Structure 1
């Protein structure tokens, strides 16, 4: 399958990579790239991703009109189109390239592009629908929603934003829905089983988490073989005798809410027929709802509640997790799944529309309007007052995104009262509480308008003659 070389000299945009690119790493994390799938890097440049994937024992090949033009092009399970679309100055050729990549795709196309928030990093003059850089290379910077819409228009399928500037387009609708289901309720995995007793224990664990018995198709093959000599009724009797009733009831409640959340997100992104759902979701619907219609009606009502400002504010006030301010609710990544279902839906819809960044610590859900920000505090666990590295926001009404980096700032925003962002049962809460109590007692929070940034906080520490050693507040000693 021969492809002509792209018309302009774009080889200067290809960079050498010592590790996987961000899109390839995201696809690996999301289990779209796997050792049992063939991978084609279409427009691979110098081939860094291909080499890194081969080191991971993946069956990867690369094609590029300049660096690897002799590669025989054959369809692959996964096609990577990594930062290619943004360097093509001809809109018709850009569209044709995306279409060719899609034709080579058997399972999922991973399309990525540079985004508009990088405008300050690209020096150049206006040219066509982009910029001509000082190196005489071209860059079309996409909006996050623009990239998703563009890929949908060309491929004709619904897509999912995996992360900012990274879009997945699936050839099979079931694959898309399976990916969505894993994002909303990741599989907890099965306990290791070596004999019939441990296999029964693993099924008990599943029942307590999911609220129902698994079907044979859901059980790992080695475990199914260990249980093969038992009749279904015997397995059911053994599990019922060993399972904790209260845990099973909690599992039912959680699975019901997760199913509603999935169906609501699916409607936000386009809902399909019942038989297109992943098998486990179909079984959850049959176990916990009278019908698929009833489940859809309940999820539709949940999605409608997302538009109700009063309902959202009540949910935020009722939430057992997160720090509520006059403008938004802030919640740590570890506590997001403990939010009320409508607020989980709020955050999920934003992530599907524009993609969560790969690194984030807090989610910020606004009271008014519908906007979600993901804030990155990389030292949250080790720094008593972590500094913000970046913020990525999506407005759910306009689907416009924005990005702010504080990497070069000399006066970064920082956090106080870290325990308020976590769930009450988080093991770090008591340690953070003790620090907060000591800081309040020392007078460090007497002027809250001064302490939101590094300089203001340091000035208050000096004023109160205090310093920090880890998560302990101690008196400052004179030099």
Structure 2
């Protein structure tokens, strides 16, 4: 196969890495880089991603115009185009490079680029549609929506934002829908099966989680083989006798809501025919709805309700998880699946449009204006009043994204009443609530306008003669 060529020397933009790049790590977490898929890192730089993926057992090759110009490139299942487009100063060549990467893709193209929020980190003079740095390298910084739209324009594919600055373009529509389903309804692990009895137990567990029996295509091979010796009627009887009816009924209701959520999200990004749905979702539709048409109509009504401020606000007030303020609902990531379905749809639409960041602790959903922010409090579990590290916001009306970093701030915002952001049955709630109650008794919340930042909170602790030891409030030694 003919080797590609690039006209200019961009080797200065290639950085050395000790670990996987963010796009490769995201694709690995999304189960898009697997040992049975071939991978091409197109524009691999020094080849650090290639080396790590090789150690993980992937069939990977890399090509780069400077570091690996002699390497042959072949059509691969997955092609990584990692921070390449933003360093090409010629818009025509930029488009040709993206088109060539798409030609080399048989299943999935992963495209990443630096985003406009990094403007402060890139110093240089205006040059073309970007900046020419002091090192004579070029950078075109993309808006999140701009990157997605550009890849769609060149490839002609429906593109999904996997993370900020990382988009997926799928060759196969069924593969795209399968990925969306995985984001909405993550696969649960099957119970280990070593004999017929344990295989039946695994099917019972599935029945209690999904509210229906699995099709043979959904079963692990070992489970299907162990159950093949039983008559179908016998398997149904054993499952019916072994399942907890209350758990199965609750699971059926949740599967119905999850299916509606998936179909609504799918419409946001382009809905396909029933036959393209993953097998599991096809079975959910057959089990819980009278028809695919009925399921789609109900999903459309759910998406329409997302436009209604009053409906959204009522859903926030009715949520069993999260804290409602005059402007938004704040919910911890481990309670996100406990909020009403219309609010889960709200958050998913934003994530599909501009990508959910890799590191986040809390989702903030505005009840007016339709914007979602993912807030990162890295020490939420350890710190009784965690400090914010960063915020990534997506405006669903304009599809514009923005990022704020608080790392250099000397007076960061912090959280109070941590239990309010979680679901009521979260195991940490009692401990967090006890701390809040002791802080209230000590008078620390008497001046709420002062305690929202580090300095103000510390001043109130001193005023009240208190200090914190973990999640315990004690008297100050110097009080």
Fold-level similarity (TM above 0.5): yes
- CA distance in 2: counterparts of 1:228 and 1:273, whole angstroms: 32
CA contact (8 A) 2:3 2:72 kept: no
Gaps of 5+ in 1: none
- CA distance in 1: counterparts of 2:355 and 2:338, whole angstroms: 21
- CA distance in 2: counterparts of 1:162 and 1:283, whole angstroms: 26
3-state SS of paired residue (1:449): coil
Question: Structure 2 matches for 1:319-334, cutoff 5 A?
Answer: 319-334=319-334
Name the residue aligned to 1:177.
177
Name the residue aligned to 1:337.
337
Instruction: Tell me by how many angstroms 1:366 deviates.
Output: 0.2
Aligned-pair Cα RMSD in Å:
0.7
Name the residue aligned to 2:5.
5
- CA distance in 1: counterparts of 2:292 and 2:466, whole angstroms: 60
- CA distance in 1: counterparts of 2:197 and 2:57, whole angstroms: 35
- CA distance in 2: counterparts of 1:68 and 1:471, whole angstroms: 54
Question: Structure 2 matches for 1:396-435, cutoff 5 A?
Answer: 396-435=396-435
- CA distance in 2: counterparts of 1:437 and 1:243, whole angstroms: 41
1:363-404 CA-to-partner distances (Å, cap 9, x unmatched) read 000011110000000000010000000000000000011000
Q: Verify: 1:381 aligned to 2:376, yes or no.
A: no
- CA distance in 2: counterparts of 1:219 and 1:59, whole angstroms: 27
- CA distance in 1: counterparts of 2:5 and 2:125, whole angstroms: 26
3-state SS of paired residue (2:449): helix
- TM-score scaled by length of structure 2: 0.99
- CA distance in 2: counterparts of 1:50 and 1:67, whole angstroms: 13
- CA distance in 1: counterparts of 2:14 and 2:3, whole angstroms: 19
3-state SS of paired residue (2:2): coil
Gaps of 5+ in 2: none
Q: Verify: 1:245 aligned to 2:269, yes or no.
A: no
1:289-346 CA-to-partner distances (Å, cap 9, x unmatched) read 0000000000000000001111101101111111010110000000000010000000
CA contact (8 A) 1:364 1:374 kept: yes
Instruction: Tell me by how many angstroms 1:163 deviates.
Output: 0.3
1:127-184 CA-to-partner distances (Å, cap 9, x unmatched) read 1111111111000000001100100111101011000000000110000000000100
Instruction: Tell me by how many angstroms 1:58 deviates.
Output: 1.1
- TM-score scaled by length of structure 1: 0.99
Instruction: Tell me by how many angstroms 1:59 deviates.
Output: 1.0
CA contact (8 A) 2:418 2:432 kept: yes
Q: Verify: 1:112 aligned to 2:112, yes or no.
A: yes
Q: Once superposed, which parts of structure 1, at least 4 consecutive aligned residues long, lie more than 2 Å away?
A: 1-5
Instruction: Tell me by how many angstroms 1:8 deviates.
Output: 1.6
- CA distance in 1: counterparts of 2:125 and 2:198, whole angstroms: 66
Question: Structure 2 matches for 1:36-435, cutoff 5 A?
Answer: 36-435=36-435
1:64-114 CA-to-partner distances (Å, cap 9, x unmatched) read 011101111101111000000000011110000000000000110000000
1:210-230 CA-to-partner distances (Å, cap 9, x unmatched) read 011111111100111111110
Instruction: Tell me by how many angstroms 1:6 deviates.
Output: 1.5
Name the residue aligned to 2:23.
23
Name the residue aligned to 1:477.
477
Instruction: Tell me by how many angstroms 1:478 deviates.
Output: 1.8
CA contact (8 A) 1:174 1:277 kept: yes
- CA distance in 2: counterparts of 1:354 and 1:374, whole angstroms: 12
Aligned length: 479
- CA distance in 1: counterparts of 2:217 and 2:177, whole angstroms: 18
1:36-61 CA-to-partner distances (Å, cap 9, x unmatched) read 11110000000010011111111111
3-state SS of paired residue (2:321): coil
- CA distance in 1: counterparts of 2:132 and 2:108, whole angstroms: 31
Instruction: Tell me by how many angstroms 1:188 deviates.
Output: 1.1
CA contact (8 A) 1:321 1:422 kept: yes
- CA distance in 1: counterparts of 2:189 and 2:61, whole angstroms: 31
Instruction: Tell me by how many angstroms 1:194 deviates.
Output: 1.1
- CA distance in 1: counterparts of 2:331 and 2:217, whole angstroms: 36
- CA distance in 1: counterparts of 2:4 and 2:471, whole angstroms: 61
- CA distance in 2: counterparts of 1:413 and 1:75, whole angstroms: 49
CA contact (8 A) 1:161 1:354 kept: yes
CA contact (8 A) 1:328 1:365 kept: yes
- CA distance in 1: counterparts of 2:425 and 2:331, whole angstroms: 14
- CA distance in 1: counterparts of 2:425 and 2:149, whole angstroms: 41
Instruction: Tell me by how many angstroms 1:422 deviates.
Output: 0.2
- CA distance in 2: counterparts of 1:477 and 1:213, whole angstroms: 62
